[in-house]
Amino acid sequence: MKRVAIVVGAVALLVTGLFVATNAYAANLLSNPGFESGNLSGWSCTGSGSGAVTSPVHSGSYALNGNATASDNAQCTQTVTVQPNTAYTLSGWVKGNYVYIGVTGGASTWTPAASAYTKLTVPFTTGAGQTSVQVFLHGWYGTGAYNADDISLDGPGTPPTTTPPTSPTTPNTSPSPSKSPSKSPSSSPSTSPSTSQPPVTGLPKHALIGYMHASFANGSGYIRMADIPAAWDVIDLAFGEPTSVTSGDIRFNRCSVSECPNVESDADFLAAIKAKQAQGKKVLLSIGGQNGEVQLTTAAARDTFVSSVSAIIDRWGLDGLDVDFEGHSLYLNAGDSDFRNPTTPVIVNLISALKTLKAKYGTKFVLTMAPETFFVQLGYQFYGGTSNGDNRAGSFLPVIYAVRDFLTILHVQDYNSGPIWGLDGQYHTMGGADFHIAMTDMLKAGFPVANTGQTFPGLRPDQIGIGVPAAVSAGNGYVAPAVVQSAVTCLVKGTGCGSYTLRGGTSPAFRGLMTWSINWDRYYNWEFMNAQEPFLNALP
C-alpha cells in the first residue's frame, strides 16, 4: 500500500483545506539533470552498458541510455534535500518502451511506448518532517534500452553545487517489475486445488474490504472509526510498523493531533471498533505497507513479532492480522527454490509466527494478505534468484502455501504493477478488466513456479479477492468501478471475459474487493463504495 499517493493538484488540495507550503521555486534541484557532463555523475545507475550518449537527445549534447535487460531494469536514482510539507514537481523527457519516472516510495508515472521523446510529469508533496527524496528513472525487464533527458525536480530547496551522494540501487518496487520469460510457458498448467474447508470467520459471502489511514493522514484526511460507513465489511488499520527492520517489534501508533486534528481519543477509537464488531464487521491490524519493512531474520525477531503483534491485537480487541509486506521484507536466499519447503529465515520465521498467532487466537482468527503482483504472480516467470533475476520475485508464494489452510483472504494489489505474464501466454498490463481477470485466474487455477518444476496449487475462491485503488490519487492502475465489475462478472459468472479463457473456471464464491483506501474513497465522495457494495451484494 502506498502511504504517499499521487497528488491531484492544488485545486483539490484547497478544497480539502490541506495546507501545502508554496515557497518560491528554486532552480532545478537535480545534479547533472541533462547528463551534459557526458557521464552519469550525480546519478546511481544499474544495468551493464547504461551511460550518457550523444544520440538520441532531447536537447543539448547528451542524454541517458538505460540498458534494460532480462535481469535488470536499468534504474537510475538521485537523492536530494527537500523541505517538509512542500509541493514539488518531477518531470523528464523519455523515449522507449515501458519507461518510468517517479519518487521512491511515492508517486510515479510511466509510458508504455514512446517512439519519440515524451514528457512525463509527477507532482508530489513531501511529508511532515521529510527532508530528502530519492527520484528514479527505469525501463522494464526484457523490453530493451530507453533514453531520458532534461530531468527536472522543481521546488524550494538548494540546487546542488557538487555531486550529491549516491543512494542504494535497489530496484524500485512501485510499480513492481516483471521480466520477460525465457520461453513461452504452458497456457494450461496442471493444478492441485486446495481441499481445505473455509474457516469460520463470520464474513459475508462477498465482502467489501478497505484500509483506514489509522496512523497518518496522507493528504486524503483522517476519518474517524465511528464515521466509516457500515458498507465496509473488513477494515484494515494501516499500519503496524517495526521499531527497526530486523527487530520484529511491531508498534501501532495512532495518528497525532498535529497531523490529524479530528482524530478521536483512544477510548472513542476502541468503542468504535467494538461497535463495528457488534455489526459483524472485522477490524484487523495491517503490518508493513510502504514504509514498514519487516525482516524476521532470527528466531528472536520472530518471537518478538508474535508477542508485539499479540499485544496490539489484545489492546484494541482486533479480529486478526493483514500482512502487507512490501519492499525488501521478503526475499529468497540462493538455492532456496522449493516454495513448499523454504529455507530462507525471513520466510521460515514469518510462517512460524503466523502459525503461532493462529494457534493463539483459534478458528475465528482472520488472516489476510495484500502482496504486490511482483511477489505472487511474477513467480510464474521468475522465482527468487533461480532465473538470474531479483531474489524477491514470487517470494510470497511459500508463505501463502504454508498458511493456505487458515488464510482467510488473499487480495493481491492489482495496481502499481508492471506487465505480468499470464496463463494464456500473454503479457497483461494495468488499465482494463483483462488485467484483473488474468491475475485473479492465476490464483484460482494455480501455476507452475518458474523453472523449479513445481506447481503452486490454486486457492479456494472464497480465499481470493481483488485489490484496486479507490481513486486516481490512490495508486497507479486505477480504473472506473464499471471496469472492475466487468472483471468480477467474468470471474464469477464466466461472461464478458473478452478473449480470455478462464483456466480456473468460474468462482461463484469469489470473496470480494479490497481497496486502498477508505480515506481516499471518502475524499472522492465514496465513488468506490457506492458502486461496489450494491454490486457485490447482487452477486449470486
Q: Which of 264, 293, 326, 372 is catalytic?
A: 326
Cβ neighbors of 460 (< 8 A, separation 6 or more) are 193, 194, 196, 198, 509
Residue 398 corresponds to which amino acid?
P
Cβ neighbors of 104 (< 8 A, separation 6 or more) are 77, 133, 134, 135, 136, 172
CB 466 within 8 A of CB 513: yes
CB hemisphere CA count around 49 (13 angstroms): 10
Cα dihedral 195, 201, 204, 207 in deg (nearest 10) = -90
**Residue 80 CA: distances (Å) to CA of 22, 45, 84, 99:** 18, 16, 13, 22
For residue 367, which of 313, 419, 417, 415 has the smallest C-alpha distance?
313
Between vectors from CA 77 to CA 181 and to CA 115, what angle results, nearest 5°? 55
Using CA atoms, how far apart are residues 51 and 22, in angstroms rounded to an integer?
A: 35
For residue 184, which of 438, 426, 443 has the smallest C-alpha distance?
426
* Annotation says 241 is catalytic: no
Using CA atoms, how far apart are residues 457 and 444, in angstroms rounded to an integer?
A: 8
Within 10 angstroms of residue 263's Cβ, the number of other Cβ atoms is: 21
Question: In the structure grid, which three cell numbers stand for residue 381, read together?
Answer: 516467470
Question: In the structure grid, which three cell numbers stand for residue 502, read together?
Answer: 478462464
CB 56 within 8 A of CB 103: no
The full length of the chain comes to 540
Cβ neighbors of 419 (< 8 A, separation 6 or more) are 98, 140, 178, 427, 428, 429
CB 283 within 8 A of CB 271: no
Using CA atoms, how far apart are residues 231 and 281, in angstroms rounded to an integer?
A: 9
Cα dihedral 277, 364, 372, 260 in deg (nearest 10) = 30
Kindly list the catalytic residues.
326
